[in-house]
Amino acid sequence: MLMHIPEVLSPDELHRCRQIIVEAGWVDGNITAGSQAAKAKNNLQLPEDAPATRELQGIVLGALGRSALFFTSALPKQIFPPLFNCYTGSHNSFGNHVDNAIRTVTGTSHRVRSDLSFTLFFTEPNEYEGGELVIEDTFGAQRVKLPAGDMVLYPSSSVHRVEPVTRGARIACFTWLESMVRETECRRLLFDLDMSIMAVRERMGDDADAVRLTGCYHNLLRMWATP
C-alpha cells in the first residue's frame, strides 16, 4: 500500500528543519547503502552522529508521534532512526533497488525489520527539477513528488528509485520501520476498516454498529499484531 500523508510537519517545524539543513555538512550517501544499493546510489547524506541529524530526528519523530494517519497506516512497532539526504549537482540520483530487509542501528546490536519505508520531503516541488521517487507496485510505476512537509509511505519490498535531479536540490528525510502487523494485506484490511469506522462514527456517532465494527478492528489487531 502506497500512502500519501500530508502535512506531517507543521510550518514552524519545516522552517526549523530547513534552517538546520543550511548549516549541515553533507557526506557521500553510500555510508548507509547495502551492497546492491551502493552500485546505484549517487547522493549526499547527513552523518548519522552529527548534531544536526540528532535535532532533525527529534523533530521528525515528534511529528510522526502525533500523526493519526501515519499510525493507522503503518501500525509502527519500531522506527529506524531517520536519515536525511540531498540530491543535487553530480550527486543526483539513486537507481532501481530494494531496501535491505534488516537494518542494524549504527553502533548497536539493535535490528529493525524493514516492512515499510518512507520519504518526508523538505523542499517544494518547484525548487528542483526531476527527483521523482518512482515506486514499482502491482498497479505499475507510481511517480511521487510531494509538497514540503508531506510524506509517502510504501512497502520496503518494492523496487524503487529516485530520478536524476537536473536543477536545484531535492532534500528529504527517509527511513524504515517495523510494523506490529507484518503482512501487507493484513495492514491494508485494518487500515480500510479503521477508515470505515471513523466515517460511520462521524455520521452516526457511537451507535451499536460502530461499536461492533470497532470490536472487529481490535480483535483482528489482537490476532495479527506482535507488539
CA distance 172 to 170: 7
CA distance 216 to 212: 6
Q: 172: which strand partners?
A: 85, 121
What are the pLDDT digits (tens) for 145-155? Answer: 999 999 999 99
Q: Model confidence at 33, in pLDDT bands (50, 70, 90)?
A: low
Q: Model confidence at 44, in pLDDT bands (50, 70, 90)?
A: very high
Backbone region of residue 71 per phi and psi (left: phi > 0; alpha: psi in -120 to 50; beta: other values): alpha
- pTM over 0.85? The answer is yes
Tell me the mean pLDDT in the region 94-102: 94
Max distance between CA atoms of the chain, in angstroms, equals 60
Place of cell 543526483: 92
Burial class from Cβ neighbours inside 10 Å (0-12, 13-18, 19+) for residue 138 reads: exposed
Burial class from Cβ neighbours inside 10 Å (0-12, 13-18, 19+) for residue 154 reads: buried
How many other CB atoms are there within 10 angstroms of residue 29's CB atom? 21
| pLDDT above 80 (res 32) | no
Backbone region of residue 61 per phi and psi (left: phi > 0; alpha: psi in -120 to 50; beta: other values): alpha
Joined together, the cell numbers standing for residue 65 give: 508521534
Tell me the mean pLDDT in the region 18-42: 79
| pLDDT above 60 (res 37) | no
Joined together, the cell numbers standing for residue 204 give: 452516526
| pLDDT at position 35 | 56
| pLDDT above 90 (res 40) | no
Residues 6+ apart with CB under 8 A from 168: 88, 123, 127, 128, 129
Burial class from Cβ neighbours inside 10 Å (0-12, 13-18, 19+) for residue 108 reads: exposed
* Cα Rg of the chain (Å, integer): 18
Tell me the mean pLDDT in the region 149-173: 97
| pLDDT at position 61 | 98
Q: 112: which strand partners?
A: 103
